């Protein structure tokens, strides 16, 4: 269900209430909002150009512009400390690709665009009865880089938290 604030209503914007994706190595949302000065330094430091101003001027990732290479340029430019990389091997985030019901392959139309765009080879296609192979995301291989998002012709792919989902499923 969409939430509709007066401001969004007057600007003809409907919010789904979903949190915006922050740059890699961002602090948890409340701490991020507290630390981030909205200076925009991280936006200019992103060589891929996928960081944009989001709600309230805070940076967010727009995967329709491309994929994240996890170069850490945004972290290096963040003087406020809202983006922190603890060590060279720390994971940038716990997001992974998710495929929605509008996926062409799930609707019996051959499409492998997402798999072709995935450098990590985290999307495998499993042949099913009827002859159309459907995508399966390998969470251990997926980095959440978003390369598959703009490749999808029907916008069926989104990047979402995955560890939380695993915990919910096992409860």
Instruction: Find the mean pLDDT for residues 18-46.
Output: 94
Q: Which two tokens stand for residue 159?
A: 């990047």
Supply angle C-alpha 150, 165, 20, rounded to 5: 45
Instruction: Find the mean pLDDT for residues 104-115.
Output: 95
Tens-digit pLDDT profile for residues 51-75:
999 999 999 999 999 999 999 999 9
With residue 136 as reference, give the H or E element that holds it: strand 133-137
Q: Which three-class secondary structure state does DSSP give residue 118? A: coil
Residue with tokens 């665009």: 113
What predicted TM-score, i.e. pTM, was given to this entire model?
A: 0.80
Check residue 20 and report its DSSP letter.
Answer: P
Q: Is 98 exposed, middle or buried (0-12, 13-18, 19+ CB in 10 A)?
A: middle
Residue 27 has a pLDDT of 96
Q: Enumerate domains of the chain plus CATH numbers.
A: 17-93 (3.30.70.20), 95-170 (3.30.70.20)
């Amino acid at each position: 269900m969409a939430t509709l604030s007066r401001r969004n209503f007057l600007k003809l914007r409907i919010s789904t209430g979903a949190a915006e994706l922050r740059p890699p190595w961002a602090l948890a949302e409340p701490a991020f909002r507290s630390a981030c000065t909205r200076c925009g330094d991280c936006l200019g430091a992103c060589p891929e150009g996928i960081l944009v101003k989001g709600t309230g001027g805070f940076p967010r990732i727009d995967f329709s512009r491309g994929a994240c290479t996890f170069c850490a340029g945004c972290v290096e430019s963040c003087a406020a400390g809202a983006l922190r990389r603890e060590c060279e091997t720390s994971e940038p985030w716990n997001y992974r690709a998710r495929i929605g019901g509008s996926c062409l392959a799930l609707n019996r139309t051959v499409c492998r665009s997402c798999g072709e765009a995935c450098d990590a080879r985290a999307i495998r296609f499993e042949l099913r009865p009827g002859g159309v192979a459907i995508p399966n995301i390998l969470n251990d291989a997926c980095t959440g880089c978003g390369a598959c998002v703009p490749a999808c012709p029907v916008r069926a792919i989104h990047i979402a938290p995955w560890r939380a989902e695993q915990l919910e499923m096992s409860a």
